[in-house]
Amino acid sequence: MEPHFSPTRNGNAPENLFLEPVNENPGMRLSESMAEHFKGMIARGALKVGDKLPTEHQLCKYFSVSRSTLRESMQILRAHGYLDVSPGRGSFVKASRPLIPTETATLKISGLAENDYEDALRVIKGLVYTAYLPLKKSPRNLLNLIISHEIYLTDSPEKLVEKEHGWRVSLAKESGNAVLAQVLEQLLSQTYGYCVKRMAVEEHRMQVLTKQQVVLSYLERGDMAAVERFFSL
């Protein structure tokens, strides 16, 4: 296990970066402890705005954590405005302090009953519909946005959830409502672990795949009335 990595800094290879081991905090999930660890590195200047983080494989190997735990910590950092994750490019430090106050950004819904998570998912669906409304006159943009996060049965549960969450956050950002995008991203990050567990069930994966194929077919033929029903149900 190599403790040194070389993240990209402003297009140049900087000095090696040393990642200290994560100290698990009582009462926190490991993913939350990891997120706090990275926040500390950013606050101290060990990670600067524009730095690209080491690869997912490197981080999982170094910290001896699963991909789902690492991805959940990255989702938390994204929700608090510290990271910008770009598919195909990697994760980049976006800000040296949270874009929204941590005490208001962190929604403590972990460890709740299944019904509580389902209630949160219904709230998310309502936010997605609100984000859709300004874009319903742009079917081509909607089509391209969803295609860029197209899911496949061969995707892992973690990958499926990332794509599902990804197009929803992208939709909110395209709507131009920054507050809506931040709230939606925060809620999605906090329900990430629950959604991965659901996505591990084959029947649920098939439902998600079918729904995406259906809305894509509506958009391809320009049936916006059907698209409206899809987002509003």
Pair 20, 63: CB distance under 8 Å: no
- CATH class held by domain 107-232: mainly alpha
State how far the Cα of 81 lies from the Cα of 96, in Å rounded to an integer: 9
Burial call 202-212: b when 16+ CB within 10 Å, e when fewer:
eeebeebbeeb
- The predicted-structure confidence for 29-38, as pLDDT tens digits, reads as follows 788 888 888 8
Q: 3-state DSSP call for residue 44? A: helix
Query: What pLDDT does residue 111 have?
Result: 52
Of 33, 57, 37, nearest in space to 47 by CA: 37
Query: What pLDDT does residue 15 have?
Result: 44
Give residue limits of the domains in the chain: 4-102, 107-232
- The predicted-structure confidence for 73-118, as pLDDT tens digits, reads as follows 887 787 777 888 776 778 888 876 654 444 444 444 445 566 778 8
Residue 19's region, left for phi above 0, alpha for psi from -120 to 50, else beta, is: beta
Query: What pLDDT does residue 96 have?
Result: 62
Token pair, residue 139, equals 């079917």
- Count other Cβ atoms within 10 Å, centred on residue 177: 17
- CATH class held by domain 4-102: mainly alpha
166-193 average pLDDT score? 85
- The predicted-structure confidence for 156-167, as pLDDT tens digits, reads as follows 888 888 888 888
Q: 3-state DSSP call for residue 99? A: coil
Q: Which amino acid is at 201?
A: V
Establish whether domains 4-102 and 107-232 are of one fold: no
Could you tell me the pTM of the whole model? 0.57
Q: pLDDT confidence of 125, banded at 50, 70, 90? A: confident
User: Cα 46 from chain centroid?
Assistant: 23
State how far the Cα of 42 lies from the Cα of 96, in Å rounded to an integer: 6
